[in-house]
Amino acid sequence: MRYAQGGGLTTERPRLRERRRYEAGERFARGEKTTVIAKDLWVSDRPVERWRRAWREGGIEVPPGLSPKAG
């Protein structure tokens, strides 16, 4: 079975993923370690490493309607 665009996630799942990325970006700025962030966000180290790389290259963009208070 193949998933449609979005990997079969409900509409809320991508928003949760973006909230995690945003929170990770704030924590990168504070100098927190990848393993600590991954554990707290319930993800493996690999996505946090990708997010950190993106953050270093220009930051993590916050999607419209997603703010630190939105969740």
Position 28 pLDDT exceeds 80: yes
Position 45 pLDDT exceeds 60: yes
Domain count, the chain: 1
pLDDT value, residue 31: 95
In a domain? residue 49? yes
pLDDT value, residue 18: 87
> How many CB atoms neighbour CB 25 within 10 A?
18
> How many CB atoms neighbour CB 41 within 10 A?
19
Average pLDDT over residues 56-61: 78
Higher pLDDT, 11 or 41: 41
Domain assignment of residue 44, given as a range: 20-58
Comparing C-alpha atoms, which of 35, 65, 30 is closest to residue 55?
Answer: 30
The upper half-sphere exposure of residue 71, i.e. CA atoms within 13 Å in the direction of its Cβ, equals 14
Verdict on whether the full-model pTM lies above 0.85: no
In a domain? residue 26? yes
Whose tokens are 């997603």? That residue is 66
